[in-house]
Amino acid sequence: MNYLNNIDVRTVKVLEQSEFPSKSQPKNKLIENAEELIRGLGLKDNAVVSFHHHLRNGDKVLNTIMKEIQRTGVKGLTLVASSLFPVHAEIIPLLQDGTIENIVTSYISGDLAKAISYGELKGNIIMQTHGGRARSILNGEIEIDVAFIASPSADKYGNISGVNGPNSCGTLGYVIADSIKAKTVVSVTDCLVDYPNYPADITEDYVDYVLLIDSIGRKEGIVSGTTKVTKDPIGLKIAKDTLKVMEATGLLKDGLSYQSGAGGISLAVTAFLRDYMIENNIKGSFASGGITGYLTNMLEEGLFSSLFDVQCFDLEAIESLKRNPNHIRMSASQYGNSEVSAVVDNLDIVILGATEIDTNFNVNVTTGADGVLMGGSGGHADTAAGSKVSIIVSKLFSSRIPLIKDRVDVITTPGTTVDVLVTERGICVNPLRTDLIEAFKKAKLDIIDIKDLKAYSESIMGKPEPIEKTDRIIGLSQYRDGRIIDYIYQVKK
Amino acid sequence: MNYLNNIDVRTVKVLEQSEFPSKSQPKNKLIENAEELIRGLGLKDNAVVSFHHHLRNGDKVLNTIMKEIQRTGVKGLTLVASSLFPVHAEIIPLLQDGTIENIVTSYISGDLAKAISYGELKGNIIMQTHGGRARSILNGEIEIDVAFIASPSADKYGNISGVNGPNSCGTLGYVIADSIKAKTVVSVTDCLVDYPNYPADITEDYVDYVLLIDSIGRKEGIVSGTTKVTKDPIGLKIAKDTLKVMEATGLLKDGLSYQSGAGGISLAVTAFLRDYMIENNIKGSFASGGITGYLTNMLEEGLFSSLFDVQCFDLEAIESLKRNPNHIRMSASQYGNSEVSAVVDNLDIVILGATEIDTNFNVNVTTGADGVLMGGSGGHADTAAGSKVSIIVSKLFSSRIPLIKDRVDVITTPGTTVDVLVTERGICVNPLRTDLIEAFKKAKLDIIDIKDLKAYSESIMGKPEPIEKTDRIIGLSQYRDGRIIDYIYQVKK
């Protein structure tokens, strides 16, 4: 639209001196009572509310706010949470009474996940990727009415910093899209600081209200589960073999870009990679994703020039982000939005886990062996698609349950984007990657056909029993570009 | 909109294995030929194109691109440039041949400004404020088809950094709104660097094309005109009196927030303020706006805790931005957008210049004594409105032309937001500010009624001749909130 085509300068209304504006006043955004805020927002039935998960299993904001919303009697909400953790089991009653009707998320675990798998959500659950979430918010596919931003610190005009405050969680990469697009943006903080709060992950111009509450959570809850190198000898063997695989790709050279998940084997791969880079005097370009202390150490050792951080996985990462100018904040869109160019598109290698993988290399990290929700893509499908080589590292069995199946329960990441599987019993290469098969043969790596590895696995443990499901579809696995790649079914109790 | 209300999970299209997406590829954004880029964009008549001015009078990008567009024969463009400098006189022929029909800007000087005042623009010129520009872009009032971003450095995926590259200009605060909202965003650079370019002012997810050209400009052109402390004794007297005025406001204490323009007297005020703060052991909070070496020194001396920088006015500021983590980038919206809370709303004191002021305290910095365009608000009206106390510093005469008039030629900043005028012949306080009048009396400052000061001025130089204008309106002075506060008329040659 050409603005000037719509006005006639000769007849436009020009203010008289008596109509001139007075001096502006800072907007009063601070509210110290959650009930007052929620009532004031006037949420209507079927509204869409969003949350981020940088406090992970230490988050108290989602529970506090959702229970306050429940008290208003509003029904049919869609909850758009970047991830949901065991701590969020507190909102199960809100599924049962219809306060929450639909959930859109990228990861879900704990009793809330179980409740949904057993059919307690009236509507549906959409499992997105981290990049897909940003895409769907920024392109208007999902319209958020109110974004509630757990804020480790904020000033009363809404400058939010993730590195200041007792519950600092580091980067706020997952909530940037929400802050840009939500109709109303609320900073929820337990640490009100003097203006101006900086460095701000989200600046005051994006924020409508600042809600001061007693506690946004427990920082210790950020470190949940699997953020330490495995000590299991089988896991370590897989990690060592993975290093050989990486070497054989020819990508372990100056300029390497790298990402790994925070699982124990993935972190072991990172630890071996570090030794290899030091030994071979390799200077990498960047590492990305959720950042751990393993990567911040490698940054400080000069093994990577920079880190692109969408989420701090541990307290070392938070400290590094605060201190090191080469440790860079990254939004989820910059990380993995398929509608723009993103950091994942320039990744050389990504190391990922799997709960199940099938003979088409499709990976499931969304549901467990019992078909119950216990995870989700996060950046899994984003990085698998963007990287030059995506490598799945996993043991062949987990609690006697085989990894490889004819067809995974729920497809999280399409096999067309998964390149290599490394297990303790062999390395499988996706037949689509003839280039890698060639390279691995040259490097004298033993490659086994995934069907043969499955047969071996079944010869030991037998074929797994099929999961008992109802015929009710409770949700969808959404690919990063918005297309649907699988159904999610209700599980029989 | 509730996304899930629009899909039926039972009938939604789910991809078959054969339809699964392949691995994504980095988008090819790099174009090394301006003609190819411009032809490829397929600009239509009446399109809207935007530019930023951080390279100020050293910018070559606007001329290069606009002349390339001219060659395509497209007509009736609206040029949305954050500011226009003498160097942009090269595009005068594009006004004459109708390539450019309308201009929206916040500052314009040089022969291009003259040409417009003499009627050579077929359409109109809208003079905005810096905050108003961001407001109008972000709220959709102005829809930009293509934003061309002069980029001191970029990688081939469009990570743009203002601090890297031979023509580094520092922060890119004025073009953030364009990068968010323009339908197409083009990074124009003469310094292509390895991926990932950081720290990025604008990240790859906002950028569609990267155009590599020989030269984006001359860095030396950033320092144009008035960025040194005045040596004129009258100017220094005004600056000294201004310090007394500031002291009398009671705002010169710990936590002070401060902004000044880059005029010689304004900078002298900053220099005196520095001495005062050291003497009285005052620790300020922040300084904002266009940043000069005077302010970066004060940051390093601990006199301010942080700087909020929308534009680097000199090379010291650029170096400081690169080095000092308390020197913070600020977008124009964060700076002065009236539809959000902005940094100007928390300013204690702003020091501003004036070409003319009238007895209603209305200020003109848009046109000169001859009625010809030679400036514009920039952040003038934004900071006047937001600050607790706005102080105009000016000599009573400039080249024998009086400062104070019955009615300024063009109202840039409404007098309702202008609090104090300091001249070499007296201090005037806006009658609306009874609080300041009271405080200044207590401080034994001599205050003179602005009408009396005008009478004095006229007793010396006489009343200025009225400017000879045609009755053709060629443009509008737009207040920061989008309302129009004055007409701009064509001037007789």
B201 with B262, same domain? Answer: no
One domain, residues B51 and B143: yes
Q: Is A445 left (phi over 0), alpha (psi -120 to 50) or beta?
A: beta
Please report which confidence band the pLDDT of residue B383 belongs to, taking 50, 70 and 90 as the band edges: very high
Q: Which amino acid is at B33?
A: N
The vertex-B344 CA angle with B340 and B349, nearest 5°, equals 160
Q: H-helix or E-strand containing A441?
A: helix A434-442
What is the C-alpha radius of gyration for chain A, rounded to an integer number of angstroms?
24
Provide DSSP, A362-426.
-EE-SB-TTS-B----BTHHHHHHHSSEEEEE--SEETTEESEESS-SS-SB-GGG--EEEETTE
Last residue of a domain, one of A157, A191, A222: A222
Inter-chain contact A334–B205, Cβ cutoff 8 Å?
A: yes
Is the preceding omega at residue B196 within 30 degrees of 0, hence cis? yes
User: Is residue B135 domain-resident?
Assistant: yes
CA atoms of B373 and B355, how far apart (whole Å): 11
Dist CA B260 CA B298 (whole Å)? 13
Locate tokens 């920079």: which residue? A306
Whether residue A39 is found in the same domain as residue A186: yes
pLDDT of residue B226: 57
Do residues B23 and A347 lie in contact, with contact meaning Cβ atoms separated by under 8 Å? Answer: no
Domain membership of residue A131 as a residue range:
30-222
**Looking at the domain assignment, is residue B427 inside a domain?**
yes
Locate A278 and state its tokens: 């030091």
CA gap B213, B108 in Å, rounded: 25
Burial category of A233 from C-beta neighbours within 10 Å (exposed 0-12, middle 13-18, buried 19 and up): exposed
Cβ–Cβ below 8 Å for B9 and A206: no
Are A341 and B124 a contacting pair at CB < 8 A?
no
Cα–Cα dist B367/B373, whole Å: 4
Task: Say if residue B1's pLDDT is above 70.
Answer: no
> What is the chain A residue with the closest CA to B101?
A4
Contact in structure between B321 and B309 (CB atoms under 8 Å): yes
DSSP string, B55-124: TGGGB-HHHHHHHHHHHHT---EEEEES-B-GGGGGGHHHHHTTSEEEEEES-B-SHHHHHHHTT--SS-
CB of B79 closer than 8 Å to CB of B101? no
| Cα A193 to Cα A80: distance, rounded to the nearest angstrom | 28
pLDDT value at position B5?
67
CB–CB of B158 and A23 under 8 A? no
User: Which tokens sit at A257?
Assistant: 């870009």
Picking from B13, B48, B386, the nearest residue to A24 by CB comes out as: B386
Whether residue A407 sits in one domain with residue A262: yes
Specify if B202 maps to a domain: yes
Mean pLDDT, chain A, integer: 96
Residue A341: which of B26, B286, B486 has the nearest Cβ? B26
Chain A residues close to B46, C-beta within 8 Å = 2, 5
How high is the mean pLDDT of chain B?
96
Q: Are B215 and B290 in the same domain? A: no
Q: Verify that A336 and A447 share a domain, yes or no.
A: yes
Query: Residue type for A30, please?
Result: L
B205 inside domain: yes
- A117 and A73 both lie in a single domain: yes
CA separation for the pair A196, A490 (Å, rounded):
49
The answer to whether A342 contacts B205, with C-beta atoms less than 8 Å apart, is: yes
Chain B positions touching A142 (Cβ under 8 A) are 1, 3
pLDDT tens by residue, B84-103: 999 999 999 999 999 999 99
Task: Output A230 or B189, whichever has higher pLDDT.
Answer: B189
How far, in Å, CA of B163 to CA of B53, rounded?
Answer: 15
Residue B480 included in any domain: no
CB-CB under 8 Å, A194 with B9: no
Q: Which residues of A touch B345 (CB under 8 A)?
A: 24-27, 157
For residues A200 and A329, state if they share a domain: no
pLDDT digits (tens, 9 = 90+) for B405-462: 999 999 999 999 999 999 999 999 999 999 999 999 999 999 999 999 999 999 998 8
Which residues 6+ apart lie within 8 Å of A371 measured at CB?
A: A117, A409, A467, A468, A469, A489, A491
Per-residue pLDDT tens digits for B307-322:
999 999 999 999 999 9
Residues in chain B closer than 8 A to A333 (CB atoms): 205
**ipTM score:** 0.96
For residue B222, the model assigns a pLDDT of: 81
CB B476 within 8 A of CB B376: no
Mutate to test the interface with B, among A20, A104, A121, A360 (most CBs of B within 10 A): A20
Could you tell me which chain A residue has the CA closest to the CA of B136? A3
**Do residues A125 and A475 make contact, with C-beta atoms less than 8 angstroms apart?**
yes
Q: Smallest CA–CA separation between A348 and chain B, in Å? A: 12
Residue of A nearest to B328 (CA): A199
Query: Which positions of chain A have pLDDT values less than 50?
Result: 1
The Cα of A421 is separated from the nearest Cα of chain B by a number of Å equal to: 16
Shared domain for A133 and A53, answered yes or no, is: yes
Residue B4 has pLDDT above 80, yes or no: no
Query: What confidence tens digit (pLDDT) does each residue in B250-277 have?
Result: 999 999 999 998 889 999 999 999 999 9
For residues B294, B299, B302, B307, the Cα torsion angle rounded to the nearest 10 degrees is 130
Tokens describing residue B335: 């700076």
Q: Torsion angle, CA of B140/B144/B150/B151, rounded to 10 degrees? A: 60
DSSP string, B170-201: ---GGGHHHHHH-SEEEEEES-B-PSSP-S-S
- Residue ending a domain, among B222, B248, B268, is B222
Residue B463 lies inside a defined structural domain of this protein: yes
Say how many Å lie between the first and final Cα of chain A, rounded: 57
Q: Does residue A167 sit in the same domain as residue A250?
A: no
Lowest mean pLDDT across A135-144, B220-229, B301-310, B383-392: B220-229
pTM exceeding 0.80: yes
| Mean of pLDDT values over B231-258 | 97
Residues 6+ positions from A198 with CB-CB distance below 8 Å: A159, A161, B306, B326, B328
In a domain, A25, yes or no: no
- The token duo for B128 is 């905005």
Query: pLDDT tens digits for B106-136?
Result: 999 999 999 999 999 999 999 999 999 999 9
CATH number of residue B155's parent domain? 3.40.1080.10
The mean per-residue pLDDT over the stretch B393-406 comes to 94
Statement to judge: residues B346 and B376 lie in one domain: yes
Cα torsion angle, B70, B76, B77, B78, sign: positive
Specify if A19 maps to a domain: no
Q: Give yes or no: residues A312 and A460 share one domain.
A: yes
d(CA A187, CA A164): 14
The two tokens of residue B351 are 């020091």
Tokens of B190: 């003469």
Q: Smallest Cβ distance to A21: which of B22, B306, B416?
A: B416
What six digits make up the tokens of A290?
């959720």
Whether B340 sits inside 8 A of A308 (CB atoms) is no
CB atoms within 10 A of CB B391: 23
Give the per-residue pLDDT at A2.
Answer: 60
Closest in A142, A337, A417 to B205, CB measured = A337
Q: What is the torsion angle, in degrees rounded to the nearest 10, for the CA atoms of residue B409, residue B411, residue B413 and residue B416? A: 110
Nearest to A175 by CA among A130, A118, A145: A130
Name the domain count of chain B.
2
> Do the Cβ atoms of A21 and B360 come within 8 Å?
no
B197: closest CA of chain A, how far (Å): 10
* Of the partner residues B12, B337, B345, the one whose CB lies closest to the CB of residue A26: B345
- pLDDT at site A94: 98
Amino acid at B38: I
* Residue where a domain stops, chosen among A222, A241, A267: A222
**Shortest CA distance from A12: residue in chain B:** B484
